[in-house]
Each structure stands twice: as structure tokens, then as C-alpha cells.
Structure 1
Amino acid sequence: MEFTEQRVFESAEWTALEQTHQDRADALTLERRLRAASGRSHPVDDFLFTYYPFRPGLLRRWHPGARVVLQGAAGLDRATWKWYTSEGADVAVDEAGFVAAKGRSVRFIASLLSKTALRPANFGCFGLHEWAMVYRQGEHRHVAPLRLGQGDTDEVVEANRITCSHFDAFRFFTPEALPLNELQPTRENQPTFEQPGCLHAGMDVYKWVIKLGPLMPGEVLLDSFELARDIRRLDMQASPYDLSDWGYAPVAVETPAGKAEYVRLQKGFSVRSTALRERVVSLVTHIAAVPAP
């Protein structure tokens, strides 16, 4: 493979970038690694390592992204990594090989993120998907107790519009809650329903960046992880669970003030997630083998 139209990072430059990335990743995963070593768990922060089956070590592995030549890397372990290729003393991501093997997935991700970024955001769901997941249910997915008890929690679900647009949240609704949702998202209609106001769609940017592997620069990966972590905390604060023992004050979406606070925070996450989606799509569609969605 001949390296053409690529940026070139000198050895000192890219090794410094790699070290900075590893330090940032280590800081982001420190608490998780300490808990794992002692057999402890956290009901909020561990979600990103259990629901998404990606080990902390994946965050630590720095990629420069597609079309970047790393000078002097051919004699290092990186030259043997999957989806890398060497030319003389230099190494670069084998974008052609990656796209040849995973082109269908790459095109789906680019299309989904592009359409989601362009769609109007819905700021009227108020995080009630988590409430629908425990509606009329005696046993719950999380160990924390319900803030309002089961009866009052059920009344909140019944008194509000349920407008969840994300299939991977909707599929955890209790059977009694499923018909209460105004939408019926499925895996097949995901590209139609996904919208940038959705907290779960924002968290999923991290999943899509991981799946794009070495095509994505390291800072995009860690930015998407930080976004998912921050969103997860709001997701649980707005849930029906009492997480005060874990240091989380509730965003009481059963009240007008709580709804307003939720929307304020939700809009900030929508801005962040849309910016990341647009960056990912721009990076992917600049690879010659992937047409613009």
C-alpha cells in the first residue's frame, strides 16, 4: 500500500499524543479498574462497561485515525496490530482493509449518525423510559429502591405521555408499559426514529465510535466515552430510583421543575452528541471507499 494524501506525524509528535491519550484514558477508567480489582460495582458508572461490552483497555489504545502516517513506528508493536500496515519505517491505519472487511457496518453507522444529527430533537420525553421499565413490576433491574414506591411510580407513568424513540430503551419496558408508548421503535426502524434529543442515542455514539475502530482518532473515542458517562448520570438521576446513597440527587421529572431541569441538561447533551456525530460522519465520508450517506 502506498501512503498518499496523508498527514505525517513525526515520532516525537505521535508518541506524545499517544501518552496524553493513555493518561486521559487511565484517569477515566481508574475507578472502574479499582472496583473490578476488589470485586465491587457501581450502579451508575459501571453501566458503560457492562451494557457496552468494551473493556477499559480499549479506551487506552490510541489510534491516530485514518490517513495519518506514524513515522518510525514500523519496529514497534503497533506495526503488528490488526488493521495497520507498514511502508518502510512508517505505519498507518489500513483503512482500505478495514472498509473491505467491515464496509457494510461502516456505511450503516455513517448513515445512521448523519440522519440522526439532521433530525429535529425531541425534548418531551423527560426520561420516562426508565419509569416505564419498572411499571407495575415487583422486581427491578437495579438494586436501589424506588424513590416514590411502586404505586406512586406507576401513577407517574400513567399521568404522562410516554414518547420513547430508542429501541434499546423501549425493549426493556415492562409488558404493561409497552402499549403506553406513543412510538413502537424496532431494530429495523431505528434509522427512522433515532433523534438527537434522546439520551440513549447520545450514549450510543460511544458504541459506534468503538465499532469504527482505528478509523477514529483517539480524542473522538474519549470524547464519546465522556459524553456517554455524563449522560448515564443524568439518565439515572431522572430515573425512579433513589440513588442518594451513591451521592446522586434526583432530577424529579415527576414535577414541573424537574422536567425543566431535565430538558435544560438534555439540550446540552444534544449539542455535544450532534457535534460528535457530525465529526464522525465527516471523518468516515472522507475515506474514498465510503460514499457519503
Structure 2
Amino acid sequence: MNPCGTSTQRVPQRWPLLERDEWTEREARHHERVDAMLEGHLHRRRHGIAHPVEDFLFTYYSHRPGQLRRWHPGVGVGLARGALPTGPGDSCYTEVPGGVALDVDRFLEKRGTTVAFVSSLLRAVNGRPAHLGCFGLHEWAMVYRLRPGEARHSQVPLRLGHEGTDRVVESHRVRCSHFDAYRFFTDEARPRNELRPTRDSQVNMDQPGCLHANMDLYKWAYKLAPAVPSELVADCFELARDVRELDMRASPYDLTEYGYTPVRIETREGKAEYTAAQRRFAERASGLRSRLLRVCELLGG
């Protein structure tokens, strides 16, 4: 929840306005969609059950289920006068002729640095070709040469065991460009990576074929809320959820108990399967990235 309140500051232009019946219908559809995506996680949380694949988006990312469920129209559209009382009235909204809309000036006072960074990152990534064929080896590098019980998901067995997992890492070229994957590599694995991504080099190194860069579109979407329409945040969440499934199916973990068939990236067939899925995700992410860039443009970023 953004505690900006409602102001009477000037906004850059007159936004088109949604009437109450229009936005409440959009809000109801959003709630229905998100509730379906949250159902399993909320059930497990109530009963203290952990899931190594589906719970990741709620433990790695800071956006809470209630925040994902909340609806905002986003920048570029307002709500007609009298349409606001049960809606997003406690966010950065200002009065405009005939209604209320996002107060861009106030939003940028608080988030201007974030808008500038996200805009530069998304433009840089969209301007690069997708590099495919990393085969998800980042997950393997995160357990390389660990002893039994030391892995992040120690309750889940390794499909090839520890020695077999180490051999896969040692027999492949590891070229991870995404800092938030690389930073979880084991000490033994980091020297094997051909690149040295850092937080400061992220704009220069992220690329559109990277599963984690595409999953992070969800993070950039919610960090720009309520300027980002909630439907777009949900679209990015849905992509991140699907990417996470591939990420773990191609990982060294044996997840058959959870109903996941492995993508055996140590085989020729598994590599082909992984690359084809990676290409499809890159195409989906490109459209979402362009929509997020449009939000940044409307914010002046």
C-alpha cells in the first residue's frame, strides 16, 4: 500500500477517465484471476507446508499476496469523480478535471530514481539479441561441490547425486550474465563462470534470453506500482511463475514427487527442450518489457 494520499497538484495532461462500472469490472476480473493464482500458496501457508517451486515468488520477491491482489488502473488513465471511494484511494492520486488520476509529480518525487533505472535497464535488454543455450546451469552452480544437506533445497534430493551434479558443471561451459543468479554460486563454482556480473554492471549485462532477467520483470512491475496497471503486474507474475517452473525442472533437483518431469539438460534432447522453452519465454518477455517501457515513458522516463 502506497501512503501518498490524495493531493490537488497539477498532473502533466488530461487523462481519459474510467467510470465506476468500467473500473469495478476490471477490478473484479483482476481479483478473480489473482485469487486463482494465489490459492495454492495461501493454502500451504496456512498449513505450514513448503513448496520448492511455487513458493519462490513469495519468498524471493518482496511483493505480498495482498499487494498483488490490489487493483490500480495505472498511469495514463484516471477514475471519474465519484468512482474512487472503495478503490485505490490511498495511493498517489490527485484531482484532475472530472475525477482523479495518478499524481505523476508526487510519484516521481518518491520513485524517480527507480523509474530511471528500470527504464534504462529495460531499454538496454530490449536492444540486445537473446543469447540462448545456458541450459539453466546457474542452478547447478549453486550446489557445485556442496556436501549433502548443504543445498538450498536440502529436503529435495539431487537427481544425479552430488558427484553426478559436479560432473555436469565441470563438463559444460558456464556463462551466467545475471548477478542475482551468479551471487548464489558456490565459492567453488564462481571461478568457472566466464562472466563476472555485478549489481553495477546489470544494465550492461542482462540479456533477453536470460530466465532470471525475464522473471525479474515481475519485480520491476511491482516496484513501479501503482503507476503500472495491476493487470500488467499480474501478467509479469504469471510469466515469472512459468519461468520458475522451467528453472527448477532443468535444475539438478529431483522434483518428481511434486509432479514435475525433469528437463535433462545433461542430454542433447534436454538441451533442445530447454532452449526451445527459453526462446518462447524470451518472446513473451519482450512484449511485457515493451509494455513496462510504455509506463516509464508516460512517467517521463
TM-score, length-scaled by structure 1:
0.95
Aligned pair in 2 of structure 1 residues 52, 219: CA closer, same or farther (>3 Å)? same
Aligned partners of 2:195, 2:88: CA distance in 1, in Å? Answer: 48
Aligned residues: 289
User: What displacement does 1:102 show?
Assistant: 1.2
Q: Which of 237, 246, 260 lines up with 1:248 in the alignment?
A: 260
Indicate conservation of the 8 Å contact 2:76/2:298, yes or no.
Answer: no
Aligned partners of 1:168, 1:146: CA distance in 2, in Å? Answer: 22
Aligned partners of 1:2, 1:285: CA distance in 2, in Å? Answer: 18
Aligned partners of 1:108, 1:281: CA distance in 2, in Å? Answer: 11
Mapping of residues 188-207 of structure 1, within 5 Å:
188-207=200-219
* Structure 1, gaps ≥5 residues long: none
Matched, 1:14 2:23: yes
* Structure 2, gaps ≥5 residues long: 1-8
Aligned partners of 2:87, 2:106: CA distance in 1, in Å? Answer: 16
Deviations 1:12-57 (A, max 9, x none): 1111111111111111111111111111121100000000021111
TM-score, length-scaled by structure 2:
0.92
Deviations 1:217-276 (A, max 9, x none): 121111000000000000000000000000000000000100000000000000011111
Partner in structure 2 of residue 224 of structure 1: 236
Mapping of residues 56-75 of structure 1, within 5 Å:
56-73=65-82
**Identical columns (%):** 51
Which amino acid is the alignment partner of residue 284 of structure 2?
Answer: R
Matched, 1:140 2:151: yes
CA-atom RMSD in angstroms: 1.5
Partner in structure 1 of residue 99 of structure 2: 90
Which amino acid is the alignment partner of residue 274 of structure 2?
Answer: Y
Q: Which runs of 4+ in 1 moved over 2 A?
A: 1-5, 72-75, 77-80, 85-91
Give the number of the structure whose residues are more often helix, by fraction.
Answer: 1
Partner in structure 1 of residue 5 of structure 2: none
User: What displacement does 1:2 show?
Assistant: 4.8
Aligned partners of 2:42, 2:104: CA distance in 1, in Å? Answer: 32
Q: Which of 127, 151, 156 lines up with 2:136 in the alignment?
A: 127
Which amino acid is the alignment partner of residue 81 of structure 1?
Answer: D
Deviations 1:142-169 (A, max 9, x none): 0211000111110000000001010000
Aligned partners of 1:265, 1:52: CA distance in 2, in Å? Answer: 23
